[in-house]
Amino acid sequence: MEPVYGVIIFVIASAAVSLFAWSRQGTLAGVLYFIAIVALGIGLYHFTLYIAQGNQVMAGVFTFLAPISAILIILNTTYSVRGRR
């Protein structure tokens, strides 16, 4: 797989998780989740690339731990009840 396709898939996965966070917790949470996922993904990529001695496949796979961990956090938090009493 070309590296640009991996980046596109990562951005789509991050956007999907952020949209899910937006639907459950509001707009600000969705934006913050997107920023956090992208920052964590970039950090995981570079850290794994360093640890794996340049193995880009392993670094690319570990990059997707960021959206996976975010979706688990979102699923384990409570709904934000807006406008209901």
Q: Is residue 81 part of a domain?
A: no
What's the mean per-residue pLDDT of the chain?
89
pLDDT digit string (tens) for 23-40? 988 899 999 999 999 999
**Which residue stretches of the chain are H helix?**
3-25, 27-51, 56-63, 65-75
User: What pLDDT sits at residue 80?
Assistant: 59
The answer as to whether 29 is a domain residue is yes
pTM value?
0.83
**17 or 81, higher pLDDT:** 17
The answer to whether position 82 is within a domain reads no
Residue 51 belongs to some domain of the structure: yes
What per-residue confidence (pLDDT) applies to 85?
47
Q: What is the pLDDT of residue 83?
A: 52
Tokens standing for 77? 């938090």
25: domain range?
A: 3-75
Which residues have C-beta within 8 Å of that of residue 24, sequence separation ≥ 6? 74, 77, 79, 80
* 10 located within any domain: yes
Q: Is residue 32 part of a domain?
A: yes
Total tally of structural domains belonging to the chain: 1
In a domain, 80, yes or no: no
